[in-house]
């Protein structure tokens, strides 16, 4: 059994890590942190976990965390960069669900995240944890930067087209929608039921923090400059995310459906749906799957890619466990084969 620690155990991604790891045959959560709920049992905060954990929230010391094989940071940005280096030095593997190690250009990171980076060497070392793209590097990694939710849905939908030069990389549009849990559990007026229910709105139109992450990810697959317009929206549901993506086709002779099916033919967690079908967020609710479908409306020069994930699952915690499995030399899908919940 591998010993697992979680920093930030009361947040939504921390709770989702706990839910999935409760049934993982090779991982045992031994430390779960919270400053606000220190001393309370896990079941007191998350009754769905009653009977699965005999564990209380604590504020662990580095010595206590150093007894873990792997520690997840399910914390806001700025936390992991201050604590991960010491754990790495003590031989602990680290997965950060936050943004501290995702962006290689730390000046760019500082611009978007409003603080100076404090762990420059670790940023260079970190492997971006999109397993379908970086599996072999993740296998060797001590430190994995788990991707953001929008960047996961977006990159899985666009990389097959970018890498095969099917679309113009300088003219991409991502129109994306997220459920409210994407904003986390902290009290925040716009996320209250009365504010977000029966409402639909865009945000971050002038610039969202996931934009540089998506651009950096796509740039790995082309020598051309990426031109991206990214507009996220908030939809009144708890979980789920869809990225609807538009690209201008360069080569109209290519069978795009066949290209996607071939690109992901060995990927268990990416489901390329049959031609003409529409992926639904509820089909991946609570599951580590990404469902994709592709269209070329009216046989025109635009391709439309629809990509759905659960923001808390493939967009965060189950993808982090997929990375954990790879880093620990376990079977990649171990503990992750649960299907989406419908209705």
Ligand X SMILES: NC(=O)c1ccc[n+]([C@@H]2O[C@H](COP(=O)([O-])OP(=O)(O)OC[C@H]3O[C@@H](n4cnc5c(N)ncnc54)[C@H](OP(=O)(O)O)[C@@H]3O)[C@@H](O)[C@H]2O)c1
Q: Which is nearer to ligand X, 33 or 256 (CB)?
A: 33
Task: Indicate if 38 belongs to the active site.
Answer: no
- Among positions 2, 4, 11, 264, the unique one binding ligand X when judged by CB under 6 A: 11
Token pair, residue 71, equals 């520690």
Q: How far apart are CA 23 and CA 136, in angstroms?
A: 26
Binding pattern to ligand X, positions 208-247, x when CB under 6 A?
A: ----------------------------------------
Residue 244 has phi, psi (to 5 degrees) of -105, 120
Q: Give, to the nearest 10 degrees, the angle between helix 210-219 and helix 149-163.
A: 30
* Helix or strand holding residue 28 (H, E): strand 27-32
3-state secondary structure 265-302: CCCCCEEECCCCCCCCHHHHCCCCCEEEEEECHHHCCE
Q: Residue 181 or residue 293: which is nearer to ligand X going by CB? A: 181
Whether residue 237 contacts residue 312, with contact meaning beta carbons closer than 8 Å, is answered with: no
Q: Which one, 166 or 321, has the nearer CB to ligand X? A: 321
Among 7, 92, 123, 273, binds ligand X (CB under 6 A): 7
34 scored as a contact of ligand X (CB under 6 A) = yes
* 149 touches ligand X (CB under 6 A): yes
| Residue choice 22, 41, 53, 76 for contact with ligand X (CB under 6 A) | 76
What's the rounded Cα separation, in Å, for the pair 161 and 221?
10
The separation between CA 84 and the C-alpha centre of its own chain, rounded to angstroms, equals 19
Using CB under 6 A as the binding rule, whether residue 37 contacts ligand X is answered as yes
Binding mask 107-146 for ligand X (x = CB under 6 A): ----------------------------------------
**Residues near 239 by Cβ (< 8 Å), separated by ≥ 6?**
179, 181, 281, 285, 286, 310, 311, 312, 313
Minimum CB separation from ligand X for residue 224, in Å?
A: 28
**Cα–Cα nearest to 281, from 313, 247, 303:** 313
> What are the backbone angles phi and psi of residue 162, rounded to the nearest 5°?
-70, -45
Q: Nearer to ligand X by C-beta: 83 or 134? A: 83
> CB of 33: closest distance to ligand X in angstroms?
6
Q: Which residue is nearest to ligand X (CB)?
A: 11
| Min CB(129)–ligand X separation in Å | 11
Of 33-41, 114-122, 133-141, 266-274, which part binds ligand X (CB under 6 A)? 33-41
Pick the stretch among 8-16, 134-142, 244-252, 297-305 that binds ligand X (CB under 6 A).
8-16
DSSP summary character for residue 101? T
Binding residues for ligand X (CB under 6 A): 7-14, 33-37, 74-77, 79, 97-99, 148-149, 181-182, 184-186, 311-312, 315-316
Catalytic residues: 149
């Amino acid at each position: 059994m591998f010993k697992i620690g979680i920093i930030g155990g009361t947040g939504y991604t921390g709770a989702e890590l706990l839910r999935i790891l409760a049934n993982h045959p090779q991982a045992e959560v031994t430390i779960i942190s919270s400053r606000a709920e220190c001393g309370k049992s896990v079941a007191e905060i998350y009754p769905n976990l009653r009977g699965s954990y005999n564990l209380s929230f604590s504020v662990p010391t580095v010595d206590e965390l150093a007894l873990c094989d792997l520690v997840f940071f399910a914390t806001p940005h700025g936390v992991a960069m201050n604590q991960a280096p010491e754990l790495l030095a003590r031989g602990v593997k680290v997965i950060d669900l936050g943004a501290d190690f995702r962006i290689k250009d730390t000046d760019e990171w500082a611009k978007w995240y409003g603080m100076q980076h404090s762990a420059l060497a670790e940023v260079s070392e970190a492997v971006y944890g999109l397993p379908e793209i970086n599996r072999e590097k993740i296998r060797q990694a001590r430190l994995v930067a788990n991707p953001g939710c929008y960047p996961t849905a977006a990159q899985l939908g666009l990389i097959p087209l970018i890498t095969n030069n099917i679309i113009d990389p300088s003219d991409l549009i991502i129109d994306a929608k997220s459920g409210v849990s994407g904003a986390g559990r902290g009290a925040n007026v716009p996320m209250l039921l009365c504010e977000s229910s029966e409402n639909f709105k865009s945000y971050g139109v002038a610039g969202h923090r996931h934009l540089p992450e998506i651009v950096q990810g796509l740039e790995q697959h082309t020598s051309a400059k990426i031109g991206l317009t990214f507009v996220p929206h908030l939809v009144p549901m708890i979980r789920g995310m869809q990225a609807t993506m538009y690209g201008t086709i360069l080569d109209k002779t290519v069978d795009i459906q066949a290209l996607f099916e071939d690109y992901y033919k060995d990927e268990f967690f990416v489901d390329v749906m049959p031609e003409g079908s529409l992926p639904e967020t509820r089909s991946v609710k609570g599951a580590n799957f990404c469902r994709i479908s592709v269209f070329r409306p009216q046989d025109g020069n635009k391709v439309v890619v629809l990509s759905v994930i659960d923001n808390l699952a493939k967009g965060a915690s189950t993808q982090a466990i997929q990375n954990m499995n790879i880093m620990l030399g376990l079977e990649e899908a171990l503990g992750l084969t649960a299907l989406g919940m419908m209705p």
